[in-house]
Structure 1
Amino acid sequence: MADEEPDYSSLPLTDRFVHKIWKVRKQAYEDAAKQFAATPDESDPVFRPFLQDPGLWKGAVVDSNVAAQQEGIAALCAFLKFAGRDACLRTRGSTITPMVEKALASTRAATKASANEAILLYIELDTPGPVIEDLLPGLSHKVPKTIAATLACLTTVFHNYGCKTVDPKPILKMLPKAFGHADKNVRAEATNLAVEFYRWLREAMKPMFWGDLKPTQQTDLEAQFEKIKAEPTPKQERYLRSQQAAMEAASASGGGDAGGDDGDEEEAQEIDAFDLAEPQDINSKIEKIEPDFWTAMGSSKWKDRKEAVEALYAILNVPRIKEADYTELNRVLAKSMKDANVIVVTIAAQCIEALAKGLRKGYGKYRSIVQAPIMERLKEKKVTIAEALGAALDQVFIATSLPECMEDIMTFIVNKNPQVKEGTMKFLIRCLRTTREVPSKQDINAFVEAGKKLLSESSEGLRSGGAEVLGTIMKIVGERAMNPHLEGLDDIRKTKIKEFYDTAEVKAKEKPKAPPPAAPKVAPPKKALGPKKAPVKKAAPPAAAPPPAAESAPLAPQPTSRPLSKLGKPSGLAGLKAPRGRALPGPSGLASPRRAAAPPVEEETPAPPPQPRFGRGGPAARSLARPTRAASPGFPDSPSPPRANAMEPRISSLERAELEELRAANDRLMRLSEELRHERSKLCSEVQELKNQNAGLIEDHTRDVLSIKAKETQLVRARSDAEATEQTNERLRRELERLKRALSRAEGLNGGMTSPGVSSPTHDDVGIFRDGYASAGGAGRQRSSFNSSMSEEKENGEHAYPTKLNADLRYGGSGMSSGRGSPARGYRDERPQSVASQGSGSGVESWKRAAEVTSQLKARIEQMKAKQGFTRQ
């Protein structure tokens, strides 16, 4: 007996939950799960201890014994399933994190499955946001096994609840980190999660993390995506308690579950990159563009403008843009639509498209700035430019609506330029196809008239486009509503319109018609009139009451007069309706027998009440005056034949007069509306003319400014050339003067060389002779050698006056030195005559060379004189 284990079942359940023996704890978990499943509702007392002390569940999910832990997490699932939302809110904060660390990565499959089920129950009972926040730290855990288990749990969550119920943005931001992990199991689970995201989001998920992956990882993921690309959009498998309640309510009202599924599928298809991305601040990035963006956009060089818009497009090409004031930016882009360089125009259009796509509905307020300039630029014939402009217009339309864009469309669809007209027509067709709201009747009429005008164009493309416009409108409003607009068109055009009608695809849905229960709203007034008619019919038969004068037999006319009603008929016959072309009863057809007695007339004058405004209430009102007339003497008792006519349905004369008055007022309003419509069209045409004139003036102004800038550039260049020419002339003049002086000195020196009174050469002459003469051996010549050479040149009739400008003399092959053997130095040469005489043989050749150089120098001087004289002229 001593070996028998004690019985712990008598202990309270909460005490056994924290018992030191794992078998006791395991049994307590099993007993708790059974008790929870047997409860009738969420308010059962068995839940109270566990709601008051949520720490019990923390110990259960991290039990040191794996078998007990398995049963503890199973008990937690039962507790959440039967205890309801209150159990979720009280225990969520103390159990999810321990389960992520200790249970999701368990080696036991049952423990792992129970932990995942508990996570799903926590999401089902409340909202998924807090649960996902508690799961995210598991993606940064230091143990790779825990990270992989958390990724697998998230895959299960999104597989069951979908990306519309659970926000995928926090997980998408952390996916690149998981793909870069060193553990292959983590990368494999990250791939599974990415594939699950692709099932729900398709291409919308890529902008969030795709750029952070390696090319090989992108290739592997693309291969995985190809396998599921053909699958239909998945449906949500589990629903939140709030969704379940809504579905039950819809089912009770006749909606059914199928409708909820369709709605979920439609909502899942609406998820795109814009919903997932975080808004980015664009203005701060634009300010960092180097060189300055605003200055570059105003540059006269197209390359600067091109680089500026390219840098801007790189900034704007993001999934979502933060709301801010982009008025000035749109004005600059609109101005770029008139740029002379087509590359700048194309990239600017792409910038507008990206900005409109990033702002969505927030871009609607900038439509009036950019739409008209874009449509004006549709005159370009290049396909690439036209496509870029069309894409920008489409994004602007998505941010606005068809009525907002209608004014510009109707203005440019009648433009003189065929390219602008055709581009506007194509834009209108795209708008009609994509709009989700049926245009108003006035807009439909305007579009139909524009389409009819296009049918009479000379270009086949415009005629076909007009037929497509009318066919698309017919698809929206229906054939019956469109038939009146097609009257007068020939069969060929109607056939063409019908062909486009058959192939057109539109998204606009016809507005629901007025519900039939509107008729009962008019019924209560009819029921109110019933009780008034019943007493009148019952009071008519008594024979004691004499019939009124209006219902008696015709009598002789009396001379007495009676006031007429407002419509000119006798008041006694105001309630009767005479057939067309016939008079009322009486001998003359104009008077009533009531005129026979004067006293009753005076008494009845104030008595008759005003004619009722009801369509069929005349007899009831007339019966009120019968008792007073019955007391009057002199009326016969015989019944009157017109009584049956008085009870027939009719419209009173007063109502008829009011109806005619309303018709006249309606005609006046129609005429006024037509006049206002004509006035509006006239004003629109005047506005368009003013816009065209303004555009022409702007173009003229731009052309003048460019011309002025060109002239200024030419003037600056001319001034620079003039200054350079003046400097050249001055230099040449000084050179010429110096050459003249050198020539005159050389001639004077040549003439007085034999005389004893010859003076020494000046500094300039020394420079000239130094450049022109040099001895063959590099030594200076003596005065005797110089004189003898000069005399030989005189005998030959030649004059050699070397100059430093002569290249032949300076760099000749005679081996002359750099001035040491010049004649000027020879005056000062004190060497012996014998030394000087050694170079006399070469001196003769040098003087012959000098003679040639002199003749060349003279010719060059003449050329310079002629050139200088031409320049001065």
Structure 2
Amino acid sequence: MAEEEDFSSLPLTDRWTHKVWKVRKQAYEEAAQLFEKTPDEYDPVFRPFTQDPGLWKSAAGDSNVAAQQEGLAALCAFLKFGGRDGALRARQHAVTPIAEKCLSSTRAAIKTSAVEALLLFIEVDVPGPVIEEILPVLSSKQPKVIAAALASLTQIYHNYGCKTADPKPVLKFLPKVFGHADKNVRAEATNLAVEFYRWLRDAMKPVFWNDLKPTQQTDLEAQFEKVKADGAPKQERLLRSQQAEKERAPAGGGEEEYEEDGGEADDAGEADAFDLAEPQDVVGKVPKDFFDNLASSKWKERKEALEALYAVVNVPRIKDGDFHEINRCLAKCMKDANIAVVTQAAQCIELLAKGLRKGYAKYRATVMQPIMERLKEKKATVADALGAALDAVFLSTDLTECLEDITTYLVHKNPQVKEGTMKFLVRCLRTTRDVPGKQEIATIVGCAKKLLSESSEGLRAGGAEILGTVMKIIGERAMNPHLEGLDDIRKTKVKEFYETAEVKAKDKPKPPPPAARAPPAAAKKAVGGAKKSALGAKKPPPAAAAPAEAPSAPAPRAGPGSKLGMPKPGGLGALKAPQKRSLAAPGGASPRRPAPAQSPPPVEEEELPASPPPAKPAPRMGLGRGGLAGRSLAKPAAPGMPVAPPSPTPASGLTAIERAELEELRDANERLLKALDDARHDRSKLMSEIQELKNQNAGLIEDHTRDVLSIKAKETQLVRARSDADAAEQTNDRLRRELDRLKRALSKAEALSGPGGPGSPSSPGGLGFRTMSPTQDEFYRDQSAGRHRMSIVSTLSEEKENGEGLPHPLSKYTGSNASSGRASPARGFRRDVSMEEKEPRAAEAPPAYSERAGSRTGSRTSGRETPSGGGNGATSGMESWKRAAEVTSQLKARIEQMKAKQASRPQ
């Protein structure tokens, strides 16, 4: 007992996290009771849990199931009676433990409380954050946790619906859970898919249907058939915001609100795959050879190109991009001689329009007229494909945009085109949600009347169907003026189509303004007051009734008429009240002096002719008619103040004022109608200007595209020219390096062959030409004649041969004679230099190598390099150096020419 007393003395938050589960359980129970007893959400009891929302994480994830059950009950009470701020803070701490530990619990009470807590979290705010917290649990390693999470999602969508809770994040996970190895997970996934089908119907299939196995598709179809007969589902639980809107709704508008709710439910049931799918980028997936194949002379290649495009754009939703060129090509295909190509192109247009929706409106002018021109085809498959393409294009725009093209082709010389356009117009009138304007209705009716006089029965019936559909939209009363002049047979035909037509746009009469809606009640009060005055009631009620009767006339003149005591309704009881008031006016004039300032009777005007107050009502009448009416009413009372004669005069005066006001209102109405016609004319003019600007914009876009392509071509040429310049510069550098090397070799050779040099014959131990043995001479001659010779001229000649006779860039600098042949001076110079460079190594070679070289060469000797150092060797050496000098001078000249050309070339 002592321990229990100690535990109870601890603060609630300390017991909330106590290590003894019984203490925690008691704290949860106490907190739930305190939450239920609070008067409002601002009670201090909620403050500790709002300041430290992490307490709910420990309560939802309690290790003891008994304590966990009470902790979830306390959380539900906190969400139910607490404020929105505390619930939002607790959501990020409590939803994940609930999804991971509570939903898969073995206790039914814990499962129920966990689902209720999730639903309350959604009710307080919105479903999105709660669903985002549950989705990661679907990747858990424990199948029971995944199955429980799927069951909770099913409950969420069942209670709040797919209109309040976005289904797209969960639809992406369905293929993954349908492929799970555990059967319970697959069963819960099936239940969730069925729940989605209740709200979305077939619109959900394009998102995940193709990722399922055929057997799974068959099983789901069987489950869908069971709920297909059910009506449109309704949201069972409302969010706090929705509850507040419902409470703010007026009490008298129950029927209207019910109709609006029903309409929303119908719209919610008609879900669209476009809204559920993610936009996909298809521009980059179009085959690169699409335009080339589409321009082929073979119809099979054109058809294959269109089939490839069809496979790319066959997605529920397409990301907006530049489709101008594709649509121009598709519009061009409408003129193709092969109907298979035409049909495939129409199907591609249909998919593009459905995938882009409103984004396809800018391409309407490109494709609509070519499609309507092709309606001359009599084959049903082609006509159906063209009609479907037109319907898809129309859904991306509106009737106002398409009406000009439709009316143009309704008078086409080809009957097939005329009939196809007529059917298209009927479909547009049925599917449009915007009521056409009066000018548009007049245009449509005029075209339909022309169709009624056609020789073809189909066209006559089509004209009647157009008129009947228009009548369904605007109503019989508004349509009657347009049917004047038609015979009874045609009117009967129009009425038949009117009765069977189904439209989505209906012209509802506009509610009258508040000033116009008030008069009926006021008029009733006025009539009642007049009756009371006729039965002998007191005089003030008729006076109060007179101002109330005035609003029954048009609003601009209601005030002045009422202030003069001249009610607008022409009823008998309404006119009696002012007469009796005028009879009693002399007796009660002095006590009611302030009242005549607002409604002065004729008698008071006669008594005070010069006082300013009676003259105030005259300007209130407007247009100067009040003063004339006042004088005419006052004249009969002048001679002897008779009471009976003035009674007929107000009635005649009232009639004249009413007539004048009626004429004024008619004039104002005519002015308004004229202004309205002018506005419509200006609107049509502006629309035509907008269309012209659109066409100019399309032309500018085409010009810009051509300019961009030409710029890219110029850039490509510039890049190629730069690469050629770089190659020439590299060649120049290579030649410069070769020249430098030749200069160094020449200077070295001159130094070696000079008098007293190390290579001279008189130098002892020298390594000149005369010190080489015949064997070494032959060895270096063979090496210089081999494929490893490094002469630049021979290398360039080999590159020329490998290039199949193409001129090498170096040929213009070195000349053809200096770049090929074994007798080239460069070859001899290169051979002599290589022999001089390698001579020291040959001289230092071991004796064994020299003996092998001597045995291989035999008696071969060189005329230039004999051991005795004869004159022939010296002469040939001098000739070689001369040839080398000539080659060097030629190369220098070529290099100078090349530099001059590069300097003269424009940068």
TM range (shorter): 0.5 to 0.7
Pairs aligned (count)? 606
Residues 274 and 663 of structure 1: CA distance in aligned 2, closer, same or farther (over 3 Å): closer
Tell me if the contact between 2:563 and 2:598 (Cα under 8 Å) persists in the aligned partners.
no
Tell me if the contact between 2:563 and 2:599 (Cα under 8 Å) persists in the aligned partners.
no
Residues 398 and 7 of structure 1: CA distance in aligned 2, closer, same or farther (over 3 Å): same
Deviation at 1:14, TM superposition (A): 1.4
1:524 alignment partner AA: G
What are the superposed Cα offsets for residues 268-302 of structure 1, whole Å, 9 maximum, x if unpaired?
2242111111111121222xx142x2222222222
- For 2:426, the equivalent position in structure 1 comes to 429
Tell me if the contact between 1:36 and 1:47 (Cα under 8 Å) persists in the aligned partners.
yes
C-alpha separation between the residues in 1 aligned to 2:55 and 2:668? 83
C-alpha separation between the residues in 2 aligned to 1:468 and 1:341? 33
- Does 2:647 align with 1:648? no
Residues 619 and 309 of structure 1: CA distance in aligned 2, closer, same or farther (over 3 Å): same
- Does 2:628 align with 1:618? yes
2:321 alignment partner AA: A
C-alpha separation between the residues in 2 aligned to 1:191 and 1:156? 13
Deviation at 1:390, TM superposition (A): 0.7
Residues 137 and 341 of structure 1: CA distance in aligned 2, closer, same or farther (over 3 Å): same
Tell me if the contact between 2:150 and 2:192 (Cα under 8 Å) persists in the aligned partners.
yes
- Does 2:477 align with 1:477? no
Tell me if the contact between 2:144 and 2:185 (Cα under 8 Å) persists in the aligned partners.
yes
Deviation at 1:195, TM superposition (A): 0.9
Deviation at 1:109, TM superposition (A): 1.2
Deviation at 1:667, TM superposition (A): 14
C-alpha separation between the residues in 2 aligned to 1:297 and 1:85? 61
C-alpha separation between the residues in 1 aligned to 2:96 and 2:649? 92
Residues 237 and 623 of structure 1: CA distance in aligned 2, closer, same or farther (over 3 Å): closer
Deviation at 1:389, TM superposition (A): 0.8
2:366 alignment partner AA: I
Deviation at 1:213, TM superposition (A): 0.7
Residues 387 and 612 of structure 1: CA distance in aligned 2, closer, same or farther (over 3 Å): closer
Deviation at 1:484, TM superposition (A): 3.1
- For 1:64, the equivalent position in structure 2 comes to 63
**Within 5 Å, which residues of 2 pair with 1:59-208?**
59-208=58-207
C-alpha separation between the residues in 2 aligned to 1:202 and 1:489? 45
Tell me if the contact between 1:615 and 1:651 (Cα under 8 Å) persists in the aligned partners.
no
State which of 426, 436, 439 in structure 2 corresponds to 1:439: 436
**Within 5 Å, which residues of 2 pair with 1:838-853?**
none
C-alpha separation between the residues in 2 aligned to 1:269 and 1:233? 6
Tell me if the contact between 2:201 and 2:271 (Cα under 8 Å) persists in the aligned partners.
no
Residues 638 and 199 of structure 1: CA distance in aligned 2, closer, same or farther (over 3 Å): closer
Deviation at 1:418, TM superposition (A): 0.4
C-alpha separation between the residues in 2 aligned to 1:660 and 1:117? 64
Deviation at 1:49, TM superposition (A): 1.6
C-alpha separation between the residues in 2 aligned to 1:505 and 1:342? 33
Tell me if the contact between 1:532 and 1:620 (Cα under 8 Å) persists in the aligned partners.
no
Residues 237 and 650 of structure 1: CA distance in aligned 2, closer, same or farther (over 3 Å): closer
C-alpha separation between the residues in 2 aligned to 1:623 and 1:534? 14
Tell me if the contact between 2:375 and 2:416 (Cα under 8 Å) persists in the aligned partners.
yes
State which of 309, 313, 319 in structure 1 corresponds to 2:310: 313
Deviation at 1:158, TM superposition (A): 0.8
- For 1:755, the equivalent position in structure 2 comes to none
- For 1:336, the equivalent position in structure 2 comes to 333
- Does 2:225 align with 1:226? yes
C-alpha separation between the residues in 2 aligned to 1:643 and 1:240? 66
**Within 5 Å, which residues of 2 pair with 1:409-808?**
409-515=406-512, 517-519=514-516, 520=551, 521-522=555-556, 523-527=558-562, 537-538=602-603, 541=606, 613-620=623-630, 648=653
- For 2:376, the equivalent position in structure 1 comes to 379
State which of 386, 389, 392 in structure 2 corresponds to 1:389: 386
Deviation at 1:666, TM superposition (A): 7.6
C-alpha separation between the residues in 2 aligned to 1:234 and 1:95? 30
Deviation at 1:246, TM superposition (A): 0.9
What are the superposed Cα offsets for residues 229-251 of structure 1, whole Å, 9 maximum, x if unpaired?
11112111111111111111125
- Does 2:313 align with 1:303? no
Tell me if the contact between 1:409 and 1:424 (Cα under 8 Å) persists in the aligned partners.
yes
- For 1:18, the equivalent position in structure 2 comes to 17
Tell me if the contact between 1:616 and 1:651 (Cα under 8 Å) persists in the aligned partners.
no
Residues 643 and 77 of structure 1: CA distance in aligned 2, closer, same or farther (over 3 Å): closer
C-alpha separation between the residues in 2 aligned to 1:115 and 1:38? 22
Deviation at 1:362, TM superposition (A): 2.2
State which of 357, 361, 365 in structure 2 corresponds to 1:360: 357
- For 1:284, the equivalent position in structure 2 comes to 284
Percent identity, aligned pairs only, is 65
Q: Secondary structure at the match of 1:366?
A: helix
Residues 395 and 106 of structure 1: CA distance in aligned 2, closer, same or farther (over 3 Å): same
Deviation at 1:55, TM superposition (A): 2.1
Residues 662 and 238 of structure 1: CA distance in aligned 2, closer, same or farther (over 3 Å): closer
TM-score (norm 2): 0.61
- For 1:777, the equivalent position in structure 2 comes to none
Residues 535 and 505 of structure 1: CA distance in aligned 2, closer, same or farther (over 3 Å): closer
Residues 284 and 645 of structure 1: CA distance in aligned 2, closer, same or farther (over 3 Å): same
Deviation at 1:376, TM superposition (A): 0.7
> Which structure has the larger Rg over C-alpha atoms?
1
- For 1:829, the equivalent position in structure 2 comes to none
C-alpha separation between the residues in 1 aligned to 2:67 and 2:26? 8
Residues 54 and 667 of structure 1: CA distance in aligned 2, closer, same or farther (over 3 Å): closer
Residues 396 and 28 of structure 1: CA distance in aligned 2, closer, same or farther (over 3 Å): same
C-alpha separation between the residues in 2 aligned to 1:345 and 1:231? 42
1:300 alignment partner AA: S
C-alpha separation between the residues in 2 aligned to 1:23 and 1:661? 86
- For 2:53, the equivalent position in structure 1 comes to 54
- For 1:294, the equivalent position in structure 2 comes to 291
Moved more, 148-157 or 518-527: 518-527
Please report the RMSD computed on the Cα atoms of aligned residues, expressed in angstroms. Answer: 4.0
Moved more, 480-489 or 351-360: 480-489
Residues 467 and 27 of structure 1: CA distance in aligned 2, closer, same or farther (over 3 Å): same
Deviation at 1:261, TM superposition (A): 4.5
**Within 5 Å, which residues of 2 pair with 1:25-40?**
25-40=24-39
2:488 alignment partner AA: D
The runs of at least 4 aligned residues of structure 1 exceeding 3 Å deviation read 4-7, 251-261, 516-521, 525-536, 538-542, 614-617, 619-625, 636-639, 641-652, 658-670
What are the superposed Cα offsets for residues 94-118 of structure 1, whole Å, 9 maximum, x if unpaired?
1111222211111111111111111
Tell me if the contact between 2:562 and 2:599 (Cα under 8 Å) persists in the aligned partners.
no
C-alpha separation between the residues in 2 aligned to 1:661 and 1:161? 54
Q: Secondary structure at the match of 1:283?
A: coil
Q: Secondary structure at the match of 2:284?
A: helix
Tell me if the contact between 2:178 and 2:185 (Cα under 8 Å) persists in the aligned partners.
yes
Tell me if the contact between 1:613 and 1:655 (Cα under 8 Å) persists in the aligned partners.
no
Structure 2: 5+ residue runs without aligned partners?
Answer: 517-550, 566-595, 611-617, 693-907
Tell me if the contact between 1:120 and 1:157 (Cα under 8 Å) persists in the aligned partners.
yes
Deviation at 1:508, TM superposition (A): 1.8
Tell me if the contact between 2:475 and 2:507 (Cα under 8 Å) persists in the aligned partners.
no
Residues 116 and 357 of structure 1: CA distance in aligned 2, closer, same or farther (over 3 Å): same
Deviation at 1:32, TM superposition (A): 1.5
Residues 217 and 525 of structure 1: CA distance in aligned 2, closer, same or farther (over 3 Å): same
- For 1:604, the equivalent position in structure 2 comes to none
C-alpha separation between the residues in 1 aligned to 2:259 and 2:488? 44
Structure 1: 5+ residue runs without aligned partners?
Answer: 547-607, 631-635, 688-873
What are the superposed Cα offsets for residues 244-272 of structure 1, whole Å, 9 maximum, x if unpaired?
11111125463477457425413422421
Q: Secondary structure at the match of 1:19?
A: coil
C-alpha separation between the residues in 2 aligned to 1:88 and 1:57? 10
